[in-house]
Each structure stands twice: as structure tokens, then as C-alpha cells.
Amino acid sequence: MHRLEYMAKNDDVIQIHSASIRALENQVGQIANTLNSRPQGAFPSDTKNLKTQGKEQCKTITLRSGTQLDEVVQDGTKEDDKSSHNQEMI
């Protein structure tokens, strides 16, 4: 009798796992459909040119969550080049 109970519990666990796997397969399929419907080479957000005068361009990025990234991130390569140039002169 103990063996039959064990087998019945295993069958229940297998059914639960099978249902979970089917749900995951559906979710992965939905994600794949969403990715395939997005235009190739496009950002999943919107970029806008906010400054139309002068030679510089200023763009903002709006994320899907609605958050706007307007913080300026400086590239550190110029400072690195200067410091390496100064070290060569010393």
C-alpha cells in the first residue's frame, strides 16, 4: 500500500510540473511573438531631437516604463588620453 501512495504522489507532482511547463511554453511563445513584431534595428523606446539649432544634437530616451533619461554621461576617454600624454612627457 505504501508503494501505491508513493506512486500516486509522484503522478500528482508530474501533473503539476506538466502544467507549469505548458504555462512556461506559452509565456516564451508570447515573448517571441512580441520580439518578432518589433521592427528590426529599432530601439524599444522613443528618441527625440530636442535641440534643432546649432551643430550639437541633444536627445532624450524614454524607456518603456515612462522614465526619461536626460542625465549627461561623459565619456572618460579624453581624460584618459590627457593623463597618458602627461605621463609620456614626464
Return per-residue pLDDT of the chain as tens, 90 residues. 689 999 999 999 999 999 999 999 999 999 999 888 877 777 666 666 655 555 666 666 777 787 766 665 566 555 555 555 555 555
Long-range contacts, stretch 35-38, CB < 8 angstroms, 24+ apart: none
Phi-psi category of residue 9: left, alpha or beta, with phi > 0 → left and psi -120 to 50 → alpha: alpha
Phi–psi pair at 46, nearest 5 degrees: -115, 130
**DSSP conformation class of 41:** T
Give the integer Cα–Cα distance in Å for 61 and 45.
7
pTM, entire model: 0.43
Triad 57, 60, 63: Cα angle to 5°? 155
Q: How far, CA to CA in Å, does 55 sit from each of 9, 52, 58, 78?
A: 71, 8, 10, 20
pLDDT of residue 35: 83
